[in-house]
Every structure is written in structure tokens, then in C-alpha cells.
Structure 1
Amino acid sequence: MIGTALSGKGGIAAVVSVLDQDGLFAREGVRYLATHADGTRAAKARVALAGFWRTALACLTERPAVVHAHSASHASFFRKSLLLLIARRCGARTVFHLHGGGFRDFATRESGALARWWIRHTLEASSVVIALSAGWAAFLAGFAPRATVRVVPNAVDVARLASASAEEAGRVLFLGRAEPAKGVYELLAAVAALAPRFPALRLALGGDGDLALLRTRAAQLGIAERLDILGWIGPQDKADQLARAAVFCLPSHAEGLPMALLEAMAVGKAVLVSDVGAIPEAVTDGDNGLLVAPRDVAALAAALERLLSDHALRRRLGAHARQTVAERFSTAVVGATLSGVYRELCQGDLR
């Protein structure tokens, strides 16, 4: 299995880490090789080159039965596509596991004719392509009609994420990169609109990005004193922040299936998220969370006001959210699905 370093930031590292902790690697004999890591450009290049070499050498000398690549767009895709080509030439069956909400634009709008051909070829040449949701699977099947696509959602360890009831009134939590595509600036505007009516309202932001610009924009909106800028936080700090939150909010413009969302649902939090990517397949508006259109500050503010004003609604949505994760997104469910895919590959049921 190849992907980003498990000690790093981001959704892929989080997804793979919980599956490893649940025992998937031990059960299935998975060897994990990092082909990407956070850091400076030079450090990233060193890890990429070393990971490429180690993976190619393993394919040539160890002849693994399956090579499973976790990929996003752009450089991540091209690295993984070349390694999967080498793996196929060495007789391995290959799994292309798609993450990230930007792949549709990357494959259809941002890439030229040659790159689009290579993307389609990589998908169709893979033994199986894993999508995070039915919606993503439908796109991939349309873009690469000869690809074999399976839906395997992201997973969270529900047992380790105990239901939390230590919420602080008015505390809204955002977990993600502080960039426009995550909707963080619409969230700042919504908080500014609600601030006069909610004296206890505070916004906690966990993640990296341009935090100086975030502070500047908050000051311009007059809500600097209502902001807790946490920076990137580790698992324990994240658990503490989730416990304290009254509402989890991630109003992204595009998404795959965010791990932070699933974690918030797993601890029984009321979630307010955009209806983009695979999110509507996990969150049903009014049942286990609230959905809003991306970039709509007025709708975001109205939904946030509704949640902050109604403790009973938050409890009901949170309880249903936790039930959803337990039934559909637990490591037990997702790990078993992946093990089934591996069995089919090794038995020759998938090409």
C-alpha cells in the first residue's frame, strides 16, 4: 500500500491510520510505503524519490499480489499512476483509491488532452478503482467506462471516539485547512452576522494555512476576540476540541468525504456542512445534520443560528449522526469491505 506518510496531516493519513490501528495491515499482510510527506519542497522531493524507488524495487523483487495506491489529484496522481504501471508490469493487481474533492476538475477541466487520456487509462487499467461514495463512483464510471469501480467510504474508529457531552454553549468548531475552498471565510462572515445575537458565540479553527490572513479578516469583521485559532492539532487535542464544541461546521466548496466530519458525527455532534462531494450521502438534512449550499453566507448563518438556538435539535441530530457512523462508516464495516476486495483480487475474481 502506498500513500502519504501516516505521521502527516490530512485526510489520507487519517483514513489509513485508523484502518492500520484496527488491524487491517496485520490481517491482510499490508506493507505501507510513504511516497509523500509534509515539509519543505526539498523534504517532499526526497520522500517522493525514496518512496518511488522503494515501491518500484518491492514490485520488482518481492512481486506483491496487490498494490493499493491512495491518490488525490495533480502530482499525487501522476506519482501513483507511474507506480501502478510498474506494479502491473510486475504482475500485481492494482487498486486506485481516490481521495480529495478536486479530482473531477483535475480530470475534466484542468488537464489537457494527453493528461486526460492518461488519467482515463490509469483508471481503466487498474484492477479496481475505489470511490468514497456512489456519486463519485458514478462520475468515475462515466469518465472511464471500462473501469471497475467499487464504493468504499472513509472510516472512523467509533469505539475510540466516545460520545461527548462536554459541549460549551456557543462554541463552533472548524477543522480543515484555512483556505477559501474550505469555506472558512464564509464561516467568518456568518459568525460576524450572528455575533450581536449570541454573546457566547466563539469560533475555534483547527488546521494550517494562511492563519495571518484569517486573523486579518476576522479583525475586519469585528470578531477577532471571538476567534480561537488553534493551528494544526493532533489526535488528543482534536478529541478535546470535538468534546467542547456545540456545533461542527465545514462549509467547503468541494469535498470527498471529510474525515473531520465523520469524527464529529462519531462523537455525537450536530454537524453543519455543505452539500458537496460525498457529504450528502453521509448527512441527510434535518435527520443527522444540516446541509447548506456552498458559498451561501445567508443560508450558513441561518442554519448556524438554528443550531445554536435549539439544544434539543443539536442532541437529536448528534445522536442520529453517531448512529449513522456506527452503521456505515466504522472501521469494522469498512475494513471488512477492503478485506473482501483483496480476497477477490487474490482469487482472480477481479482482473
Structure 2
Amino acid sequence: MQFLFLHQNFPGQFAHLAPALAAAGHRVVALTSRVAEAQVWRGVEVLPYRYAVPQDTRLHPWMTTLNRAVDRGAATYRAALALRERGFAPDCILAHSGWGEALFLREVWPRARMGVFSEFYYAAEGADVDFDPEFQRAGEIGRVHRMRFKNMAIRMQLEEADQGITPTRWQADAHPPDLRGKLTVIHDGIDTDAIAPDPAASLELAGLDPLDRSDEVITFVNRNLEPYRGFHVFMRALPALLARRPLARVIVVGEDGVSYGTAPEGGGTWREVMTREVRGRIPDADWARVHFAGRIGRDDFTRLLQVSRVHLYLTYPFVLSWSLLEAMSVGVAIVASDTGPVREAITDGETGRLVDFFDAGALVEAVSKLLDDGAARARLGAAARARIVRDYDLARVCLPRQMAWIEALARG
């Protein structure tokens, strides 16, 4: 069979599924704006399409997301027409719905079966938008309507699709009932063989003394350091945490951009903003024990989790991060926010400790207690790994389910 994947940052969530289909003997093509030239990656023919962010200054603000989705959808539509002219006719199309890439493909290949990876459906209440009062839009009028337009391209693609797939039950339940029935919950998968405990692990990072399991290491990881992932709460906990743990080394991984929220109103980065807020309450000797590592490689990231004694994970009610599940797979004890997506993976007292997202004091207390209780850390870490192996293992659980799902979709 012939499969077509669409993802502006391919491979993204298709990093395992697309090459697995190619390895099974299918022809697999991917359209993406990530590359400039055609290439072959793990058996997948990766083809570029051109996209530039459209000028939307004259649009109503509610239309910005939809306008960009339509523009990107038109770009992939043109690329699809060119593919059709070259004789390519996919049996099945799978697209991430977040950027509008599959909006117009039904007209190009009306006989193809279509699936969408539907990662998130926005809501005016009960999820990320109204969660953190510190960063809500003061006096916003029409938030419900803004969310409706933000979801419009996502809805249109899922309505057009034959089936949808999403990683967690919480993410599926965020969709309205009339769309939820199309969704199958299958996680992208965690490579539990490679991302596993290693008592002999050690880590060397630039500007940092070598670390191993004998060190009291506390880790905090975001793709970008921003409020959506609780960076402000973590930073506000640092003065008390460093004072309570005079031997601890705190390693922070993440870049200074913005993935989901907005940049600080006064300019700069969230790391600069939060450092200015808390630095005066942290003595120089304590601040020297905090290391901002930026972005690190895959192997170093795994080793970091392997040497960590307690890993912190905070998030708004939003898409669950791979990093949390990878920390669980490594078997590190975790203190995380008591928010909906996290509760799907972590049961308080069984596979980790949950604290109120906004309570920096509770965060410090939970971390300190775990650092003083090696038996509790071992128990929670082992249970967390067992949960990941049972429900999220890539090779034995998730990828076989994904393959069965997409092959059934392709057969109709």
C-alpha cells in the first residue's frame, strides 16, 4: 500500500510509525516544510513544500490561527496536486491536524482513506486558557468565540477524516462529543529498552562537574522555559528548595523560546524575568548550584534522568510531555502537578507525588521529603517504570497498536 504523512515538522509524532510502515514493505511519502530538498529518511520519501507565514494584520484577531491554517493547507494542496501529476495515489493519508495541512486533500485524492492525529482541542474553560489567573487576558471579550475559530481547522479536518488518533484519554476527552467518537487513544510510545534505569550512569555537561547517582540531583525539563509548563512556579520554589537542600544540584533543561504561551510583555525571556524575581532571595553559593543546560542531546538527556534523584514536572491542563513519561521509564522519583493530563499517568503515592500546580511551598516540601526517603524514591520509581512498560512501551504496546490502527484504516 501507499501512505502519505503530513507534518510541518516531520517526523514529529510519526517518528516511529512512518518508518515502521516503510520497513513492512509499504511505500511511505511525507510532506513537510521542515526540509528544503527531497530526501530519504529511514525508508520514508520526505518531500518539501513551501510555506511562509501570511500577512494577517488586517484580519480580525480571532481569525489569525484559521488564516494560517488555510494558507498552509493551500500550500500542501499545491504540493499534493504536483504529487498526483507524478502518479502518486495514496491508499491512506495521515496528517497532524494542528496546522491545517489536510484541509483540502480530500479533493485531490477522494478515494484515499484519511486519518488525522488530533493532538488538542481548545476550550474557553476547564483547560489551559482559563487555568492560570496570573496570565489571563484581563477583561477579554469573546473568549469562547476566539476558541471556536482557533479550533475551526482542527474540526474541519477531523470531520473530513475517516478516523482520528490521539495520545491520551485526557486529550481525547477535550474534543466535543460529536468528534470524540472518531478518536482512538494510542500513545506515540516510549522506548523503554533504551530509556531505562542505570545505577552506573554518569553525566558530563559543559560548565558542570561530572554527576552520578551519588549526587543529590534535582531535574526540571521543558522544551522551552515558560509558564505553560510551570517554570514560574518552579523558579519561585528555588529559594526555599536550595535553602532546604544545601547539597542539591538543580539541573534545568530547556530553551528560552515560547512553545505554547506568549512571551513576557516587557520583552526578554521567561528565564530572565523569573531570575530577576527570585535572584535577590538566593545567596551566590546557592545560585552556583543551579545549572541551566539549555537544549541537550538525546543520550545526555537520558543520562540526566538516570542520575536524577527527584524529577519535577509541572504543566497546565494541556498536552502531556514525552519528558514526563521518559522520566517514569527511567525510574526516577517524580513530583508533578496535580492536573488532569498528569493524573492519567501518575497516581499520587503510587507512581509519583502530586502537588497543587500553584503551591511552590508544597512542591518544596514534597521534594525534600522524597530526598530524605530513599525507600520511597525506589518504590515510586519502580512503580512508575512498571506503568510505562505496561501501557506506553513503544515496541511491544504502542507501535503494534498504531500499525494495526493505520492498516485497518487503509483497508477501510
Query: What's the TM-score bracket when you normalise by the shorter of the two chains?
Result: 0.7 to 0.9
8 Å contact 1:59–1:90 — kept in the other structure?
A: no
Q: Which moved more, 1:260-269 or 1:48-57?
A: 48-57
8 Å contact 1:218–1:224 — kept in the other structure?
A: no
Percent of residue pairs bearing the same amino acid type? 25
Q: Secondary structure at the match of 2:293?
A: strand
Asked if residue 91 in structure 1 is aligned to residue 111 in structure 2, the reply is: yes
CA deviation profile, 1:166-212 (whole Å, cap 9, x unmatched)? 43543111111101111012112223212222111222111112344
Q: Which moved more, 1:243-252 or 1:268-277?
A: 268-277
Return closer, same or farther for 1:29/1:196 CA change in 2, 3 Å cut-off: same
Return closer, same or farther for 1:189/1:120 CA change in 2, 3 Å cut-off: same
Aligned to 2:311: 248
CA deviation profile, 1:215-272 (whole Å, cap 9, x unmatched)? 4345234153231101111202212211221111111123322111111111111122
Aligned to 1:322: 385
Shift of 1:302: 2.1
Return closer, same or farther for 1:266/1:94 CA change in 2, 3 Å cut-off: same
Aligned to 2:266: none
Q: 5+ unaligned residues in a row in structure 1: which ranges? A: 7-11, 38-42
The correspondence for 2:155, drawn from 107, 110, 120, is 120
Aligned to 1:26: 23
Return closer, same or farther for 1:305/1:4 CA change in 2, 3 Å cut-off: farther
Return closer, same or farther for 1:160/1:260 CA change in 2, 3 Å cut-off: same
Shift of 1:296: 2.1
Asked if residue 276 in structure 1 is aligned to residue 339 in structure 2, the reply is: yes
Q: 5+ unaligned residues in a row in structure 2: which ranges? A: 36-49, 54-71, 130-142, 202-212, 257-268
Q: Secondary structure at the match of 2:28?
A: coil
Q: Please state which structure has a larger fraction of its residues in helix.
A: 1
TM-score by length of 1: 0.81
Equivalent residue runs for 1:198-217 within 5 Å: 198-209=245-256, 210=269, 211-217=271-277
Question: In structure 1, how many angstroms separate the alpha carbons of the residues matched to 2:327 and 2:17?
Answer: 18
Asked if residue 45 in structure 1 is aligned to residue 109 in structure 2, the reply is: no
8 Å contact 2:31–2:76 — kept in the other structure?
A: yes
Q: Secondary structure at the match of 1:242?
A: helix
Shift of 1:320: 1.0
The correspondence for 1:178, drawn from 222, 225, 245, is 225
Question: In structure 1, how many angstroms separate the alpha carbons of the residues matched to 2:307 and 2:278?
Answer: 22
Equivalent residue runs for 1:140-151 within 5 Å: 140-142=175-177, 144-145=178-179, 147-151=181-185
The number of equivalent residue pairs is: 327
Shift of 1:55: 4.4
Q: Secondary structure at the match of 2:116?
A: strand
TM-score by length of 2: 0.70
8 Å contact 2:16–2:399 — kept in the other structure?
A: no
Question: In structure 1, how many angstroms separate the alpha carbons of the residues matched to 2:14 and 2:104?
Answer: 19
Aligned to 2:88: 62
Return closer, same or farther for 1:227/1:50 CA change in 2, 3 Å cut-off: farther
8 Å contact 1:133–1:153 — kept in the other structure?
A: yes
